[in-house]
Chain A
Amino acid sequence: SAVISQKPSRDICQRGTSLTIQCQVDSQVTMMFWYRQQPGQSLTLIATANQGSEATYESGFVIDKFPISRPNLTFSTLTVSNMSPEDSSIYLCSVEDLRGVVTGELFFGEGSRLTVL
């Protein structure tokens, strides 16, 4: 069974709309990370989501464009706001510790592939 589940797995969106991606983990985790993988490119960290505090955004990413929620230790959402075709990407949720064990590597969800027309 999947350890990290993302919804939706893919979507086609219209320019100017917003879409919220959900990430559910089957155990409590300290931090959740949101990455973007643009077509043919590597992964770029958008932000780190902690439960009970605001997310920490990387350079080039802002809360107004990518608001994040982290209501509890197993769930997070990433919203892509006012989308443009340049936002067409795979968005990946990842965590560092599973079942309380930190081993250094990140574990990833299957990703959410967004296409903006």
Chain B
Amino acid sequence: AQSVAQPEDQVNVAEGNPLTVKCTYSVSGNPYLFWYVQYPNRGLQFLLKYITGDNLVKGSYGFEAEFNKSQTSFHLKKPSALVSDSALYFCAVRGGFTGGGNKLTFGTGTQLKVEL
């Protein structure tokens, strides 16, 4: 069975500082990894994904994530945090890429709080 772990319930960062939101995964075969963000009272918005290719993936709003196969990690990063980045972040994994085939499994979420 596939799974995702987000070890931090909350991450606090000062505006302008770099941020990291951690994610590790377990899946059979090649992983397909995703980050989503959820603002209060809103649905989930897709940030970025790793399917294949470069281990460093760049996404929306200046976010990036690094796929590390040996450590089975896919940490989300941003060089300089903004107060507007404060939201709930979900890491997700699926074990295949067939249309409608494999399920997307989500982590428990990490609340990011960026303060002035």
Contacts and interface: CB of A to CB of B under 8 A. Distances in A.
Given A31-B100, A97-B99, A104-B97, A42 B49 contact: no
Nearest to A31: B100
A96 B43 contact: no
Q: Interface size bucket, B side?
A: 20 to 34
Q: Which of B94, B99, B100 has the most A CB atoms < 10 Å from its CB?
A: B100
Contact of B49 (A50, A96, A104, A107): A104
B34 A105 contact: yes
Contacts of A97: 99
A80 B45 CA distance: 24
B contact face: mostly helix, strand, loop, or mixed: loop
Interface of A: 4, 6, 30-31, 41-43, 45, 48, 50, 58, 92, 94, 96-97, 102-111, 113
A91 to B, nearest CB: 11
A61 to B, nearest CB: 13
B99 A96 contact: yes
A42 B97 CA distance: 22
B90 A43 contact: yes
B103 interface: yes
B52 to A, nearest CB: 10
B5 to A, nearest CB: 11
A111 B43 contact: yes
12 contacts: A43-B106, A45-B104, A96-B100, A103-B49, A104-B97, A105-B34, A105-B46, A108-B36, A108-B43, A108-B44, A110-B42, A113-B41
